[in-house]
């Protein structure tokens, strides 16, 4: 089936009106409608084999991403899966370095989100053809083959191919037992569902108490709009979860560098493990200053959900500007680029704690973090994967959480396939959900 040829790419604008109830709200995104550019690759295979992919976006931005996916589609349609995966590095370059399209990137912003959507669909297709969930495809793959999927251009000063290979070969030891452990216990998660910025104190209290009862021990709170509110909310949640559970705070890029240091210092009494996205996501040296200033308070800096590509992550790592690497399955160039980031994090000995939530981000990124544990880092120390309890019901193979841990998916593929009924209902603007929203006079 590797010979299957991709004969058609469709992409749809699928949005969920999450802003109506303030789900997902933060200091910078006050009314997010969680959305995806949803890609389906059709093949000429007898088995009606398809590959499903997506990238996460927010509301009106989706139509631009859909356009970019269409613009890249000619590079994938007509290729066989074999042609792609036998030189995956070359195919990544073809998409990311196209002579006319790269001007609107390169390897950043909308065009990189579109690249992610397409490549996620290709990886999904490949994993389906191999009959394995994506994490297992990666875990079983020969290290040299894995390395051949990565574009090392611009990162060899931080990580050479040989070093990457050595990391993978070294981590072969104990791989089997780590895989068994994951299948039994799952990968540890934290929840962001309790404390979106637009939630009332009452909602926060209720959701947090429910989460505690379900066994959650690690919680993330949105901060950054108003210091007094932050103090009140952090104090409330710290009281609810007690001194031994873990608290993280997330400012979604709200502050200038010095402001970040002053503000977070005032929240230090609540003992957050990390401050996430304190300032502009491109400001490597700013993050380094914040990291340095907050280290004596025992607070680390986490970032990555809006980090363009492997080159930015390289600089963050080189400058000791982050203490937690937040990979995102849809922001950078799919599995190919995330492999590079995961391996660089291993070289620099910085834990990977993925960003998830949105639509489908949990479904996808669980595969990458399982691979990280089983085949790269071999450690759970200071590591956990984000979980948000929204919109899973729209997926064919939704995430399974047990005892606050991700249970490894079993279905073949990259867990990107959505229920066709959900796609149609939420298709923007003609889906029935959006027609109803419009009739009620909401945005
Ligand atoms: C707009 C989104 O909900 C963000 O607030 C969200 O991704 C967040 O930063 C997170 O870390 O989960
Ligand atoms: Mg965040």
**Cβ neighbours, 10 Å, residue 319:** 14
Q: Among 24, 307, 390, which is best to mutate for testing ligand 1, by the most ligand atoms less than 8 A from CB? A: 24
Q: What is the 3-state secondary structure (H, E, C) of 108-122?
A: CHHHHHHHHHHHHHH
Residue nearest to atom 6 of ligand 1 (CA): 24
Residue 355 catalytic?
yes
Active-site option among 355, 367, 390, 394: 355
Helix 88-96 and helix 334-348: axis angle, to 10°?
Answer: 110
User: What confidence category does residue 269 fall into, taking pLDDT thresholds of 50, 70 and 90?
Assistant: very high
User: What confidence category does residue 46 fall into, taking pLDDT thresholds of 50, 70 and 90?
Assistant: confident
Return the CA Rg of the chain.
21
Give per-residue pLDDT as tens, 272-299: 999 999 999 999 999 999 999 999 999 9
Q: Which pair of structure tokens corresponds to residue 89?
A: 């590095």
Q: Is the pLDDT of residue 175 over 60?
A: yes
Residue nearest to atom 2 of ligand 1 (CA): 24
Residue nearest to atom 10 of ligand 1 (CA): 355
Q: Which CATH superfamily is domain 6-131+421-439 in?
A: Enolase-like, N-terminal domain (3.30.390.10)
Separation of CA 251 and ligand 1 centre (Å): 9
Q: What is the 3-state secondary structure (H, E, C) of 209-231?
A: HHHHHCCCCEEEEECCCCHHHHH
Pocket of ligand 1 (CB under 6 A): 24, 26, 29, 32, 58, 192, 250, 252, 305, 355, 357-358, 386
Separation of CA 307 and ligand 2 centre (Å): 11
User: What confidence category does residue 48 fall into, taking pLDDT thresholds of 50, 70 and 90?
Assistant: confident
Separation of CA 222 and ligand 1 centre (Å): 9
DSSP assignments along 120-185, one per residue = HHHHHHHHHHHTSBHHHHHHHS-HHHHHTTS--TTTTTT--HHHHHHHHHHTTTTHHHHHHHHHHH
Q: Which residues contact 48 (CB under 8 A, 6 or more apart)?
A: none
For the segment 408-416, the average pLDDT, to the nearest whole number, is 98
Global pTM reads: 0.98
Give per-residue pLDDT as tens, 364-375: 999 999 999 999
**Cβ neighbours, 10 Å, residue 90:** 12
Alpha-carbon distances, residue 359 vs 16, 198, 298, 390, 422 (angstroms): 9, 19, 32, 8, 12
Sole residue written with tokens 């349609």: 77
CATH 3.30.390.10 in the chain is located at 6-131+421-439
pLDDT, residue 397, reads 98
CATH 3.20.20.120 in the chain is located at 169-415
DSSP H or E stretch at residue 8: strand 6-15
Residue nearest to atom 11 of ligand 1 (CA): 355
Fold of 169-415: TIM Barrel (3.20.20)
The distance in angstroms from the start CA to the end CA of the chain is 45
* Interface pTM, i.e. ipTM: 0.98
Separation of CA 340 and ligand 1 centre (Å): 23
The Cα 153–Cα 159 span in angstroms is 10
Backbone angles phi, psi at 233, to 5 degrees: -70, -40
The Cα 149–Cα 88 span in angstroms is 5
Give per-residue pLDDT as tens, 84-101: 999 999 999 999 999 999
User: What confidence category does residue 442 fall into, taking pLDDT thresholds of 50, 70 and 90?
Assistant: low
Give per-residue pLDDT as tens, 391-402: 999 999 999 999
Q: Which residues contact 69 (CB under 8 A, 6 or more apart)?
A: 9, 11, 37, 39, 114, 117, 118
- For ligand 1, what atom is nearest to the CA of residue 222? 5
Decide: 418 and 404 in contact? Cβ < 8 Å: no
Residue 222 catalytic?
yes
């Amino acid at each position: 089936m590797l010979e299957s040829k991709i004969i058609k790419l469709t992409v749809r604008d699928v949005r969920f009106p999450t802003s109506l109830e303030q789900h997902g709200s933060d200091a910078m995104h006050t009314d997010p409608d969680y959305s995806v550019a949803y890609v389906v690759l059709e093949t000429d295979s007898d088995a009606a084999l398809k590959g499903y992919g997506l990238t996460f976006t927010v509301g009106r931005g989706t139509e631009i991403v859909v356009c970019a996916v269409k613009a890249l589609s000619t590079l994938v349609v007509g290729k066989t899966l074999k042609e792609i995966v036998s030189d995956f590095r070359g195919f990544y370059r073809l998409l990311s370095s196209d002579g006319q399209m790269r001007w609107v990137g390169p390897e950043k912003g909308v065009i990189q989100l579109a690249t992610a959507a397409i490549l996620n669909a290709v990886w999904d297709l490949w994993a389906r053809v191999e009959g394995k969930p994506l994490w297992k495809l990666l875990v079983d793959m020969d290290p040299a083959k894995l390395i051949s999927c990565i574009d090392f251009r611009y990162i060899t000063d931080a990580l050479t191919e040989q070093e990457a290979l050595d990391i993978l070969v070294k981590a072969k030891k104990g791989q089997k037992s780590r895989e068994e452990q994951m299948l039994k216990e799952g990968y540890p998660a934290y929840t962001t569902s309790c404390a979106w910025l637009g939630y009332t104190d009452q909602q926060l209290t209720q959701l947090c108490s429910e989460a505690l009862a379900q066994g959650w021990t690690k919680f993330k709170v949105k901060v950054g709009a108003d210091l007094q509110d932050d103090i009140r909310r952090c104090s409330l949640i710290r009281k609810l979860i007690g001194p031994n559970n873990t608290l993280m705070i997330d400012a979604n890029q709200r502050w200038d560098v010095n402001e970040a240091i002053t503000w977070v210092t005032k929240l230090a009494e609540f003992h957050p493990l990390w401050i996430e996205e304190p300032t502009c996501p491109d400001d490597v040296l700013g993050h380094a200053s914040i990291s340095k200033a907050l280290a004596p308070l025992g607070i680390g800096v986490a970032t990555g959900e809006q980090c363009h590509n492997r080159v930015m992550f390289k600089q963050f790592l080189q400058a000791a500007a982050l203490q937690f690497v937040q990979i995102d399955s849809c922001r950078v160039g799919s599995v190919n680029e995330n492999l590079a980031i995961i391996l660089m994090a291993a070289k620099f000995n910085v834990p990977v704690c993925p960003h998830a939530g949105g639509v489908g981000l949990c479904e996808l990124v669980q595969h990458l973090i399982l691979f990280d544990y089983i085949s790269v880092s071999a450690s759970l120390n200071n590591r956990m994967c984000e979980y948000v309890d929204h919109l899973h019901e729209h997926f064919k193979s939704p995430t399974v959480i047990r005892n606050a841990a991700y249970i490894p998916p079993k279905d073949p593929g990259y867990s990107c396939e959505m229920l066709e009924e959900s796609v149609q209902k939420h298709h923007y603007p003609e889906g029935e959900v959006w027609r109803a929203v419009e009739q009620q006079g909401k945005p």
